[in-house]
Amino acid sequence: MLQQMVKSPWDLVNVGFTLALHLVFVVMGFFVFASDYKTACLNVGLQTLGITIGWWIGMLISPSSSRHQSDMATVGKAVTAFVISRP
């Protein structure tokens, strides 16, 4: 199953590098840039939210199959309905 998901060994390197980079920024946000525990938790929470939103936008922009394309189009329509329908 893993061989079907990973088309190239560089895909694993890319995922590993991305996760390591995010881990470095989380550690920096928690230990370096925060003066107290509440600020550290806020930093990590905002970083996690940013990573999640970035991943969703990336999936919307570049779906990997026709099923993903239709699923993400449905999600995109739902999100757009909530964003545009604000008074």
How many folded domains does the chain comprise? 1
DSSP for 19-65, written as a single string: HHHHHHHHHIIIIIS-SSHHHHHHHHHHHHHHHHHHHHHHHHHS-SS
Indicate the residue type of 87.
Answer: P
> Running DSSP on this structure, what letter comes out for residue 87?
-
The domain in which residue 28 lies consists of: 2-84
The predicted model scores a pTM of: 0.56
Of 87, 64, 68, the closest CA to residue 76 belongs to: 68
Which tens digits make up the pLDDT trace of 26-83? 888 888 888 898 988 898 899 889 988 988 888 777 767 777 777 778 877 887 777 7
